[in-house]
A and B are shown apart, each in its own frame.
Chain A
Amino acid sequence: MNFLVSEAELQAYVDGRAGAARRGAIEAWLAAHPEDAQRVAAYRQLGEQWREAYAAVLDEPVPPELLDALEERPRRSRLVRAAGALGVAALLALAVSLHLAPSPASPIVQRSAIAHSVYAAEVQHPVEARAKSEVLAWLSERLHMSVQAPDLERAGYAFLGGRLLPGESAAAALLMYEGQNGQRVTLYWGPEFRQERETGLAFARGERGTRVYYWLDDECGYAIASADLSQKELLVVALMAHEQLEK
Chain B
Amino acid sequence: MNRLRLWCLAPSASLLALLFLIPMGIVAVYSLMTRGPYGGVYAPFTLENYARLVDPLYLTILWRSFLYAVISTAICLALGFPLALFISRSGNRKNFYLAMVIVPFWTSFLVRTYAWMFLLRDTGLINTALAATGIISEPLTLLYTPFAVIVGLVYGYLPFMVLPIYATLERMDRSLVEAAADLGARPLDTLLRVIVPLSAPGIRAGSAIVFIACFGAYLTPDLLGGGKTIMIGNLVQNQFTAARDWPFGAALSLVLTGVMMLLLVPMIRSRKEGLL
Do A and B bind?
Answer: no
Q: Residues of A with Cβ closer than 8 Å to B?
A: none
Q: Residues of B with Cβ closer than 8 Å to A?
A: none
